[in-house]
Every structure is written in C-alpha cells, then in structure tokens.
Structure 1
Amino acid sequence: MNLSLTSTVTLNNGVKMPQLGLGVWKSDNQTASQSVQWALKHGYRAIDTAKQYGNEAGVGTGLKQGLEANHLQRSDVFLTTKIFNGDAGYQSTLDAFDDQLQRLQTDYVDLVIIHWPVTGKYLDTWRALEQLYRDGKTRAIGVSNFDIERLRDLLEHTSIKPVLNQMEFNPLEQETDIKNYCDENQIILEAWSPLGHGETLHNPQIKRLATKYQKTPAQLILRWELQRGVITIPKSTHEQYIQENADLYDFEIEAADMRLINSLDLDQRTIWYGNFQWNGNPDGFGDTIDQWKN
C-alpha cells in the first residue's frame, strides 16, 4: 500500500480529502493557532475544528499565518468544521455558519458536518448543509456520530448523500457495523479519538507490535487506521508529536498483525446518545471548549 502524507481519499462527490489531518479538540484559541501552524510546517494539509471546541478563531489565525509562512494557498489546505448542537435546525444553521466563516477567516470550508444528530432537528440541519453546498460555502457535507438508524433516515429523506461519518474509532472501538454500512453506501469513515484517549497506547499487544515495527504505539495505531481506509485526525499540542504522528509512511503493517489489531475491538464507546439531553431543545450546550451537558 503506497501511502504518503499527501495521500487523499476521493469522497463520493469527487472531492479529494487528505487521509491524515490535525484535530484540535480541547485546545484553546492560542494553542489551536500554534498547533495549526506547526502542522502546516510539517506537511499536514487537513485541519479539523468545530464551533463546539470554542477555537475556530484560533484555527483561522493559525491557518492564515501558516499559509503565509509556508507559501501556501487557501486551496492547499482542507478545512473542516462542524455545526453546533445549539444551532440545529434549518435557518439557525445558515445564520450560525456565516459567523463560523468569519471566525475561521475564510469564505468557504472544504467540509462541514453535523456534530451530533439532535433529535427532531438533524434532517432540517442537513437541508441547511445542502443549501450551503449549493451556495459554494462548502465543498462537501457530512455527519458525525450517526448510527445506522439515523444514517438510514438521512439517506431516505434528503437529496445529497453525506461524504463521511466521523465516529469514535481506534483499536478498542472499531464501530464495525457502522463502518460496514458506510462502506456499502460510499460514505467514508473518519476517526475521532483515533488514539483512544491514550488508553490504546498502553495496550500490551499494541506496544509489542510497535516494538516490532520500531515505531511508537501512536504511529502504529495511526498506520493501522490508514490501512483500514479510515481518515484520521490525531490531536496534539506539541510540535514533536505533531511531527511524529505524520511519520507513518516508511512501513506497512503485515496482514496477520492487521488482523490481530482488528481483534482488539471492545465495542465500548466513550460517549453516545444516552449521555446527552436533546429531546428537541439542546439547551445547556455551551459554545466553549468541552461544554457538553452529560
């Protein structure tokens, strides 16, 4: 499998998206700005943020400064953001998204996704995303944390298919049924928490295989995800780790070892629908970092 840091996957609307990017969850604006600049310096060409993270302004500043410092154009970087639960609905999504673009200091994003499928509202939110897509404010639209039931509902009631579904995905949480459903419907799976909140790094099998391949546990896991065909967005606020997380292209995990890692799945999500009080009125969801109501 011939992969590199510039490797892309082709989404179902023909847009090409880098398979490896930087995530900025739980980063404040200053930290996110610096992380984005480091990522662009070390060859990353995809950045993932969200209104929920409270750091879109920092990402926008980091992107602007990183493009200038590395002599890049805006079109060289694939930028993703997400629709905040509290903005769910048709007009509320359209109104909020213009503010998101201002914070990101851009007139378009490459991908916008529904962060969580708010009960009773996600179909209207999706129709707003379709309008943003038609208006050229985003090059692609997708979802996050959609189970099969909600994906099926979306596909049955809307006209544009999501290009991806961003899910918790790592060796201990592989979402096999959802990934299979996505594969069957030409929807790419993208991994959030690709390193399993750090827990996966200490798994004895992962550590043993990392030693075998002379890589860190994080590098082994991220390479496994690439070979699974998953888009992955590891988060780091340290330049060394941002650089290390991209050093994945000088080795390939053997088929037997891929199967071993596949066998580690515990099917235990960190958070899921039961954690949230939606019921059509998602009050309590703050527009700051890590303010989920649970």
Structure 2
Amino acid sequence: MTTLAIDIGGTKLAAALVDNDLLIRDRRELPTPASKTPDALRAALHTLVEPLSLYAKHVAIASTGIIRDGVLLAINPHNLGGLLHFPLTETLEAITGLPARAVNDAQAAAWAEYHALRGDYRDMVFLTVSTGVGGGVVTDGKLLTGTGGLAGHLGHTLADPNGPMCGCGRRGCVEAIASGRGIAAAAQGELAGCDAKTIFIRAGQGNTQAADLITRSAQALARLIADIKATTDCQCVVVGGSVGLADGYLTQVRRCLAQEPSAYQVALQPAHYRHDAGLLGAALLAQGDRL
C-alpha cells in the first residue's frame, strides 16, 4: 500500500510516496511559506502533493506542533505564526480526496527511529534539535502520544530558571537555549543576527563565541538527556534535527553527558533516517501500526 507522506516543518515542507518496505519515491520539497497564513499553507501543500496524490491510497502527515483531532496547535505559537488551529487532516483530504492521518513530527520520527533499532531496545527516546527542540517517547514498544498530543515535548522542560524567555511563555526551557533559534538569539557582537547554520560555520573557522554558543546548547541537551534517563530509564536516546546532526554536535553532547553521574548515562545514537524520519514514521503509523 503506497502512502503519501507529508512532513510540515518550520522551514520546509516535504512530501514523498512511501511503500510498505519504507522505500521513498518521488520526494519533493518546498519552503514553508514565509507568511505562515492558512491560505499560504494550503496553496503550498496543494502544489507539493498534487502530482503525487494520484499514486497513493492514503495520506500520512507529520507536522510540527501539537496535533489534536487532526488540528494543528502549538505549545510555542512562534513556531507556527498564524497557523494555530489549522485543520490539517481536513485540508489534505480536500486536496487529495484521500483519507488522512496527522501526528506530531517528532513523535512520528521517534516511531521510525524505534523501528530502525530492529528490536535492540524496547524503551527509547528521540530528540530533534533544529528550529525548536522536540521529542518522542517509546515505552515497552509503544509510542507515547498523550490524550492531548503533548507527550514528548521535551524541549519545554526547564533548563535554567534564570534563562531566556521561551516562546511557550515559560522562562528557561531547553528549547530557548539549545535550539537553532536559541543559539542564534544568544549571539552578540559580530555574530548578532546570524542564524544557527552560520554560527556552526563560524565555529568551524575558530570563532570562540560561536563555539561557546554551540557548547551551551550541547550542555543543555545533555542535562535534558540525564533528566530523561531518570524519568523513563530508557535504554537509548536517538538525536536528530539540523542542529542535532550537525558535524561534531553529538560528540559534544556525549562529552557533556559523560560528566553526569553514572546512573544518568545512556546510549546515544544519531538518527538513522536523518531528515526523513518524520515522513517514514508517519507512513508507518498510517500503514497499520497502532499507537
């Protein structure tokens, strides 16, 4: 059964046809509309999926934000702009004429990455570090979504009570410090106004401030991982996202985690499916896996 899988992120939209063997065909991408209005997103989704929908039996959507009854919500409205309460499944069903199912993108990615472990672990956590910091939790082989779709929003746990204000309205969240947006917001002087990608490049060129900003992010993520180990006793933490998969970043996280007591140590792995984990996890869920 071929699934039309769609990944809606803060910076890009991706779509692909995914078969039962998780093979991706005809992958397409578009930038997420800068205006982030409902009309702009509908138009972009129509352009993205129309050439693919004829070859699919159903639609699987992985999206940033909280997904509740097929509607897009957010704990951090800044990540969505004007897209709060956007009817995801209703919109895609209207565009494609196919039944649709939506899930949070990090939860979907967690499910794909759990399957990639091929039975080595029953309890794992996935963390994505990119524009924001998201996550997904698999416990005893089951994906945790929560009754309101909030489960796995680990980036909104507390990192520093005196830290920067997070877009969710809470001060000092992990996301406000470790995310690409958090790294960029903390930049000063010659790096002020640079995005996270530029800061990583400058760090590679020997810029001390850039290197310190990345270390600050890695330290916050390592402390989060120690908290996750204490809370879930997971056997493995998989890290993905544009920041999480940046050269050298996971090595820094490992180094920071190694400074924690032994009880908080846990195996760390880079995401197997890298930037396609959301697409594939949504397809897996739509193809018959149960939450």
Q: Which has the higher helix share?
A: 1
TM-score using structure 1 length: 0.29
Identify, as 1 or 2, the structure richer in strand. Answer: 2
